[in-house]
Copies of this chain bind each other. A is one copy, B any other.
Amino acid sequence: MRKATIKDVAKHAGVSTATVSYVLNGVEGKVSQETVEKIYKAIKELNYIQNFSAVSLVKKKSRLLGVIIPQTEDCKQLLLENPFYSEMISGIELKAREMGYHIILSGVDKGQSYLDVSVQRDLDGAIIMGIYQERFYEELKNVKIPIVLVDSYIHDKYFYKVGIDDEFGGYLATRHLIRNGHKKIALVTGSIRKDGVVEKRFLGYKKALREAGLFYNPDDVFENSVTYQHGLKIGRFLSETPRNITAVFATADLIALGVIRGMIETGKRVPEDYSVIGFDDIPISRIFIPSLTTIKQDIGDKGAKAAALLIQAIEEKTLSEPTREVLLTLDVIERQTVKNISIKD
């Protein structure tokens, strides 16, 4: 039993395909109520389902959104292992589906450019997570579809953006530590790339120090990758080589967790010996023992906002309009890893 096409529906209802198409697309004033009902009846009876490939072909719209996420260094995995990304995607998918879109999830190879995919598939828009080489963004622009960048500080009015005020976040975290009496605070972080979120958080860190009249010492920053492993290494290092550091600000929860584990393994206690604050509030942070004090951003909401922004851009064809940017709020979530050391007891 072949799948029913619009032609079958038309024949069955005794009208032309154009008429059917008009009701499918909800065109006003082209078809009488009576005919509309006949057509719906035919659709039901024939089990008709619209073919999107054909629609895309003529409309040049696919109701498909590209979502691209970074791969790990070795290209063996998507960075989905980072719960941060999964939560975002969850938010994106739900919102997209609610608005009648589907998402194509993809990593991006060094060689093959994403351009191909988006053009091939008539993607209506794309959400890009993470940061890439400049060449990549240029390619993206050539596709001429709306694009929203998540957590990127690329200065280009072409792109829509959603993110948080990372500098403020870094400031908030550091200030929280300072307010708890800490004066010598290490920064453990992923690579501080230009225009990345980490750079901004770093700026916030320095700003908080300055504001509190504290000395910024480059030796206190440990820059490497956004991984548990990096945190682990630094955690051990810190607890084994005596310095007068009392707290650490890790620019990602994953790193913070590593730091804590490193310290505990080498016989220190958190927060008694060291206070630690993270960033992101990924689900594990609540679960971890001790549970992590951190800067919370509503990641799922961020995804939903990104999807909504993108779809709005697509549907209003506001491509040339000034870029809009949405920023989400931030909160410090106090849990168990920060101790107030100004209160003597």
Residues of chain A touching chain B, judged by Cβ–Cβ distance below 8 Å, are: 3, 49-54, 56-57, 62, 64, 67, 76-78, 80-81, 83, 85-87, 89-91, 93-94, 97, 102-107, 109, 115-117, 119-122, 228, 257-258, 260-261, 264, 283-284, 287-289, 300
Determine the chain B residues whose CB is within 8 A of the CB of A91 once the complex forms: 77
Expressed in whole angstroms, the minimum distance between the Cβ of A28 and any Cβ of chain B is: 24
Query: In the assembled complex, which residues on chain B have CB atoms less than 8 Å from the CB atom of A258?
Result: 287
A334 to chain B, nearest CB (A): 17
Q: How many copies does the complex hold?
A: 2
In the bound complex, CA of A261 to CA of B283 (Å): 14
Q: Is the CB of B119 within 8 A of A283?
A: no
Main secondary structure of the interface of A (DSSP, over half): helix
Is B288 a contact of A289 with CB atoms below 8 Å?
yes
Please state if B77 and A81 are interface contacts (CB–CB under 8 Å). Answer: no
Contact A105 B107 (CB under 8 A): no
How far, in angstroms, from A107 to B91 measured CA to CA in the complex?
11
Chain B nearest CB from A185 CB (Å) reads 23
Interface centre among A49, A62, A105 (most CB of B within 10 A): A105
Cα–Cα, bound, A258→B287 (Å): 7
Contacts of A67 in B (CB 8 A): 105
Contact A120 B78 (CB under 8 A): no
In whole Å, how far is A229's beta carbon from the nearest beta carbon of chain B? 10
Contact between A51 and B120, CB atoms less than 8 A apart: yes
**What 8 A-B pairs have minimum CB-CB distances, sorted nearest first?**
A53-B56, A86-B86, A78-B90, A80-B86, A80-B90, A53-B57, A52-B120, A49-B119
Contact A104 B103 (CB under 8 A): yes
Nearest neighbor of A96 in chain B, beta-carbon distance: B106
Residues from chain B with Cβ under 8 Å of A90 in the complex: 77-78, 80-81
Q: Does the CB pair B89–A81 fall under 8 Å?
A: no
A104 pairs with B102, CB closer than 8 A: yes
Q: How far is the CB of A312 from chain B (nearest CB, A)?
A: 21
